[in-house]
Amino acid sequence: MFLNRHFCIMLLCVLFICSIFWWQQPVNVVTAMATGGYADNPHQFVKQCFQKLDYRQFELAEKLMTEDAYIESMSLVQRLRDNPFLSMQKIDVQSAGHSTFLVTITLGSSIDPQEEVSYQVEVNQADVGLIITSVKASR
């Protein structure tokens, strides 16, 4: 019976399914989300914040900014809320200083033409880690 191919295939399937459940435990997922990998790197921090805006995770993006910075970025947030098809097709983050970054975003969708928008973003160290203190649209 142990050499039966159906039994071996079923045993392998059960083993794979159990390993998937073991690997995707909530503890592992929450740990991966909490450590993030971008908490120490301001370049990745800024890119992650704009990706959260693109994914329509506005509450999470707001937690990465000060209140003033979020108010400054409301024009972008409102555009993303108004047009569900609009997405950030390309996010380019360039360092413009020690804590200042120039973020160039290519916005567009299948029905809207592509548009390039630039923002000057300032990042500072806070008690909880990095935080975006200013998001200014630059023309």
Quote the pLDDT of residue 19.
Answer: 84
pLDDT value of position 23 = 73
* Spatial separation of the C-alpha atoms in residues 132 and 125, rounded to whole Å: 9
- Whether 137 contacts 119, CB under 8 Å: yes
Buried b / exposed e along 34-73 (16+ C-beta atoms within 10 A):
eeeebeeebeebbbbbbebbbeeebeebbebbbeebbebb
Provide the whole-model pTM.
Answer: 0.71
- Per the structure block, which two tokens stand in for 119? 């923002």
Per-residue confidence (pLDDT) for residue 33, from 0 to 100: 58
Determine the pLDDT at residue 27. Answer: 63
Using 50 as the pLDDT threshold, list the residues of the chain that sit under it.
none
What per-residue confidence (pLDDT) applies to 17? 87
Cβ neighbors of 26 (< 8 A, separation 6 or more) are none
